[in-house]
Amino acid sequence: MLKTYGHLHDDMKVVRLPAIHHDGNAVIVSGSLGSLLIDAGTSWYQSLQVERIRGQLGDGRLDRIVLTTRRYPCSGGAKHISESFGDIPIHIHHEGQAALETGDFFTTWANRFDSDMPPTKTIPMDDGEIFALGDGDVKAISLPGHAPEGMGYFLPHLATLVVGPLMPRADRPTRWDLPGGSLIELIRSFESMKRLQLTSLVPMQGPAIRGKKHVNEVLNRHLTFFKEAVENEGKPPKSWHRPASTALWLTPISPWPLEEKESV
């Protein structure tokens, strides 16, 4: 049975805390009935992350953390942040729960950062669960491909989606060769995102991708690349550089645009 947390009310605010170094973006969604945090960053800057969150919430409370993936740049700081706000619940798709509960050093990718993955108690979550905070809700959407537990968090009333490493940045396609990755599922997830008719897409790092036209252009660029990789026996072009050991993305040999080009 799908679960709904909270109730609808008014006054919702969405704040992106820009990624620090290897961290992913963290997004605070707050309403009249409470707040949640989407992704937590690594454990490297977890104390700073707590101060940033408190700076945004003021006297408000943080009620829960929801994760887009088990990968360390998004999940590594979750335990510390949870404890700092009174052991608030941490939600992740059930496919990623065991890795966090056991502090999996490998599939979380923490080993690539020469870091430990803190064993993290979580609550399993499925596609379609709703977190209602006030004047709108946050809907969990299963988006596998980069990882089987990949989730996006959709704010329907804002036509906004937060996706984590499924979209590392507008100019960087994600990898599908990490533990649990699937190129075919990646294509299906991008097609699902296109059907949402988004006006804003928040990637793992870098600025939000804004405007329906720009979002569609970015999704199409990535989708075309993935389909070409299928035709290339599931591999990126040989001309592309080998990813860095910590990278959750591939780097185009000819740079893709990060921002929307202004019309002349």
- 208-252 per-position pLDDT tens digit: 999 999 999 999 999 999 999 999 999 999 999 999 999 999 999
Helix (H) or strand (E) holding 99: helix 94-101
* The pLDDT value given to residue 111: 95
* The pLDDT value given to residue 11: 66
* The pLDDT value given to residue 227: 98
pTM of the model: 0.94
* The pLDDT value given to residue 261: 65
4-231 maps to CATH 3.90.1150.10: no
- Strands (E) across 157-204 are located at 160-164, 200-203
Residue stretches of the chain with pLDDT short of 70? 1-11, 261-264
* The pLDDT value given to residue 263: 41
Q: Where are the domains of the chain?
A: 4-231
* The pLDDT value given to residue 2: 41
* The pLDDT value given to residue 9: 39
Residues 149 and 93 sit within 8 Å (Cβ to Cβ): yes
| Phi, psi (rounded to 5 degrees) for 42 | -75, 175
Q: Rounded CA gap, 168 and 172, in Å?
A: 6
**What single DSSP character describes residue 174?**
B
Q: What is the dihedral of CA 191, 195, 196, 201, to 10 degrees?
A: 40
* The pLDDT value given to residue 264: 34
